[in-house]
Structure 1
Amino acid sequence: MNYPEDYSSEINELDLDEYKERNYIMDLENKILRAELKNKDISRENSQLKKENEILKRELDKLRIPPLIMGTVIDKISSRKVVVKSSTGPNFLVNISQFVDPEEIVPGERVCLNQQTLAVVEVLSKEKDYRAMAMEIEEKPNITFDEIGGLSTQIRDIKEVVELPLKKPELFEKIGIVPPKGILLYGPPGTGKTLLAKAVAYETNASFIRVVGSELVKKFIGEGAKLVRDVFKLAKEKSPCIIFIDEIDAVASKRTESLTGGDREVQRTLMQLLAEMDGFDSRGDVKIIAATNRPDILDSAILRPGRFDRIIEIANPNEDGRIEILKIHTSKMNLKNVNLRDVAKLTEGMVGADLKAVCTEAGMFAIREDREYIKLRDFEEAIEKIKSKTTPKEEIKPQVSLMYG
């Protein structure tokens, strides 16, 4: 059969298009087949890696199941070898396990060692004593120097030792002197020693760690010394920082030849405290304030310059001092015909804590009679009541020379 020439060319074009389409489909089918084969290979490889991972995990668990030996890294020899001092005593050159990142290993780091191979299998977190961390005061006491009366000279001395080195250290460098390291406040109970420390915490932008001397005395050997180390370590981390040790005589009394275990432990704690006070830089951002009612029983080593460079007496206030204290405590009280100088004369020998109690009792006498104001008679009765409760306070006379600061 003969077709027209134009019709024949049309058939050839259709065959060519069909041929191209079939080739395109075959290419796609081949690509799909190759992708499926590649996916199967990847799945097999993934399954194999999962099995290997499980095997490695089991091996790691086997390494960690026995009790691990604690050690401290002394030196790093190479990326996978370190010198470690074990808790058992001797030093060892050991390998770092493949499960541990060698970048985490630095001298001084605490690590865990496998019992059999002594390989480093784990890096421990930084050692912290949460008893020391609990001593840090997060919310500073709302006490200012303006709320403390009769201690203007003592406040000036404290500012010179604590505030100036923290706020203007360049002044000491220009003058060429080393600022005092610490302050010891001593005097009868209730004169304002702790109150001064609270005011320092409020007036400076430094962290504040408050320690009571008896808290440093522990039952077991080495615990007190460790707590002292941790307190000073925490202070350096939180610098600028002020450490306030209240009732320091509980841990810093004179050393004796006593052979009892308790006394020996107190002496170990004291020696650690002395070492720490010598250890930090006097121009650093750590300052120490201590308070005591019994300076006469303190060990002479802690009183020497270089540890407590300024020793300040907080004595009973004189008449003018008592007037200042009374003004502070009566600033919000409703007084009627009350001359505070007359009240101050009646409170001879009283300390700040007594004067605060007198003001409170005077207000209670007014409330008892259903009055809205306080009279001089209320103060007189309050003074008699407070005096009847308190025993005569003997003036403390230290046996050592204290006033060199």
Structure 2
Amino acid sequence: MTDTVDDVELPYDEDASQQEKINALQERLEVLESQNEEMRDKLLDANAENNKYQQKLERLTHENKKLKQSPLFVATVQELTDEGVIIKQHGNNQEALTEVTDEMREDLEPDSRVAVNNSLSIVKSLDDETDVRARVMQVDKSPDVTYQDIGGIEEQMEEVRETVEMPLKNPGMFEDVGIDPPSGVLLHGPPGTGKTMLAKAVANQTDATFIKMAGSELVHKFIGEGAKLVRDLFELARQEEPAVVFIDEIDAIAAKRTDSKTSGDAEVQRTMMQLLSEMDGFEDRGEIRIIAATNRFDMLDRAILRPGRFDRLIEVPKPDAEGREQIFQIHTRDMNVSEDVDWTALAEMASEASGADVKAICTEAGMFAIRDDRTEVRMTDFEEAWEKIQKESDETEDVSKTFA
């Protein structure tokens, strides 16, 4: 039943004057308009909230639909022919010839990464970026190691600076003289002598990006995986220049070739050939320098050592007594050291220690002081630290012989 005028409660008394009635009606109108505006705002908020939930529903519906679909496989384009596109699946390395639309064909080229379905039809082209496997590379935009952090290898440091730093900081000097800067530097010597620190210090001094990869990371089970990673490494260097590329444990992929017919050895050989190819075709290096390191110089294939690849072969030996003393002082400059500490005696004591061993001695000496609830590190702490490290080294060597 519709309300009548008689059912409406008026905001004034019947006995009120005409002006009082008008004023009361105006006040009621203002209240109603305010309430109407408030309700309109709430309606807009409700509509916005509804749209948000509607979008979320559509997104979840789309995701649910995608989850019900069969997964796509990643493949690499090998060749574009008149008959179609030859692709190779990642993982099993099976090749297949498939057809693509003219529109998609325009976006493809050899080495493009694509997604394919169960029937090996190309569904979409993947972004042209450095392979996700580059996650095994260590990329440091600004290494914090300086030449002041390295001791005992001044002669080697100077050679590396001439070979790597100078071409990056003053390439015009080589042009004026009329010679090409050395193509690459190979550091060889026992473990822990500062080869990696040297490479980082050069990158720091030249404001270059430091890209490190262990040679063992380039050894892969599947055909072509290692070679692809080598290409990714050099592509990343081009994107990040100025850059210092440091390949540690290069003997893992550059050992002397044998007559072995196993698939693993064959894959290592393919990876080495790709590395040689990259270095030979890397003549216009721009602001990119290559440093490699190995503890097994005797195992390297002669092909990797020929001029034009690694022009400088720098041996980084264990430090002598003077070098060890200098390294002790470097690693204790932030430590609270007692006046009774004799650096010369420490250097003589640790006669077989490498730079890494000296650092370990300093750290362990600090731990002995902490165990005794002291803030000052004494000479006896260093002596006990050296004894402990020697004992651990002997135990490790015994275990290695047991399982050899």
* TM-score (structure 2 length as normaliser): 0.68
User: Given the alignment, which residue of 238, 241, 253 partners 1:239?
Assistant: 241
RMSD in angstroms over aligned alpha carbons? 3.7
Displacement after TM superposition at 1:387 (Å) = 2.1
Cα distance in 2 between the residues matched to 1:298 and 1:392: 30
* Equivalence for 1:339: 342
The 5 A counterparts of 1:39-54 are none
Q: Is 2:190–2:317's contact at 8 Å kept on the other side of the alignment?
A: yes
**What is the one-letter code of the residue matched to 2:340?**
N
Cα distance in 1 between the residues matched to 2:124 and 2:362: 62
When Rg is computed on C-alpha atoms for both structures, the one with the higher figure is 1
Establish whether residue 254 from structure 1 lines up as the match of residue 253 from structure 2. no
Displacement after TM superposition at 1:291 (Å) = 1.1
Q: Is 2:212–2:245's contact at 8 Å kept on the other side of the alignment?
A: yes
Displacement after TM superposition at 1:175 (Å) = 0.4
Cα distance in 1 between the residues matched to 2:341 and 2:275: 50
Query: How big is each residue's C-alpha offset from its partner over 1:355-378, in whole Å with a ceiling of 9 and x where there is no partner?
Result: 111112222222233333222222
Cα distance in 2 between the residues matched to 1:367 and 1:107: 62
Cα distance in 2 between the residues matched to 1:131 and 1:111: 13
**What is the one-letter code of the residue matched to 2:206?**
T
* Equivalence for 2:27: none
Displacement after TM superposition at 1:133 (Å) = 5.7
Displacement after TM superposition at 1:391 (Å) = 4.2
Displacement after TM superposition at 1:201 (Å) = 2.8
Cα distance in 1 between the residues matched to 2:133 and 2:191: 27
Displacement after TM superposition at 1:181 (Å) = 1.3
Displacement after TM superposition at 1:327 (Å) = 0.7
Displacement after TM superposition at 1:331 (Å) = 0.8
The 5 A counterparts of 1:56-205 are 86-87=85-86, 96-97=102-103, 125-126=127-128, 128-132=130-134, 135-205=137-207
User: Given the alignment, which residue of 388, 391, 397 partners 1:385?
Assistant: 388
Cα distance in 1 between the residues matched to 2:219 and 2:339: 51
Cα distance in 1 between the residues matched to 2:140 and 2:244: 13
Q: 1:247 to 1:95 in 2, by over 3 A?
A: closer
Q: Is 2:223–2:267's contact at 8 Å kept on the other side of the alignment?
A: yes
* Equivalence for 2:66: none
* TM-score (structure 1 length as normaliser): 0.68
Cα distance in 2 between the residues matched to 1:187 and 1:211: 18
Percent identity among equivalent residues? 52
Displacement after TM superposition at 1:384 (Å) = 2.0
* Equivalence for 1:366: 369
Q: Is 1:179–1:282's contact at 8 Å kept on the other side of the alignment?
A: no
Secondary structure of the equivalent of 2:200?
Answer: helix
Q: Is 2:151–2:326's contact at 8 Å kept on the other side of the alignment?
A: yes
Secondary structure of the equivalent of 2:356?
Answer: helix
Give the count of matched residue pairs. Answer: 314
Displacement after TM superposition at 1:251 (Å) = 1.1
Query: How big is each residue's C-alpha offset from its partner over 1:326-374, in whole Å with a ceiling of 9 and x where there is no partner?
Result: 1101112222221211111111111111111111222222223333322
Cα distance in 1 between the residues matched to 2:393 and 2:111: 56
Q: Is 1:232–1:276's contact at 8 Å kept on the other side of the alignment?
A: yes
User: Where does the alignment leave 5 or more consecutive residues of structure 2 unmatched?
Assistant: 1-71, 88-94, 115-121, 398-404
* Equivalence for 2:64: none
* Equivalence for 1:225: 227
**What is the one-letter code of the residue matched to 1:155?**
M
* Equivalence for 1:306: 308
User: Where does the alignment leave 5 or more consecutive residues of structure 1 unmatched?
Assistant: 1-66, 75-81, 113-119, 395-405
User: Given the alignment, which residue of 350, 353, 359 partners 2:353?
Assistant: 350
